[in-house]
Amino acid sequence: MDVVVIANLNQAWWFEDSLPYLQPYTIAKRMGVSERSVQRSLSRLRKKGYLQQVRERQDDGTVRYYHDLAGLRRELEQLARRDIRYSEALRAHIAD
């Protein structure tokens, strides 16, 4: 469940400097699950440090919640660096 939620957020993350905005309702509808299930998944991801919710007030006074995936990105980068093949490919790329 959490992986599919991450996939949905990642799909909405087009630019590195523009955090994805995707409502739990939209994710739930795509997945065919309840909105509450998605909310629980988002909560688990925040507790693990993979996701941070960023609150932003819009010009019209409404509030949007963006999803910052920097924690997940850091974790994946650390895992990749531990992979010898990734490290060798990175060294080869830097040497070019």
pTM (2 d.p.): 0.78
Would you say residue 8 has pLDDT above 80? Answer: yes
What does the mean pLDDT of the chain come to? 90
**Would you say 20 and 67 are in contact if contact means Cβ atoms under 8 Å apart?**
yes
pLDDT tens-digit series, residues 15-57: 878 898 889 999 999 999 999 999 999 999 999 999 999 999 9
- For 92, list phi and psi in degrees, rounded to 5: -65, -40
- Rounded percentage of the chain residues whose pLDDT exceeds 90: 59
Residue 86 pLDDT grade (very low, low, confident, very high; cuts 50, 70, 90):
confident
Q: What is the rounded distance in angstroms from the CA atom of residue 78 to the CA atom of residue 57? A: 33
DSSP 10-62: HHT--BTTB-----HHHHHHHHTS-HHHHHHHHHHHHHTTS-EEEEEE-TTS-
The architecture CATH gives domain 2-69: Orthogonal Bundle (1.10)
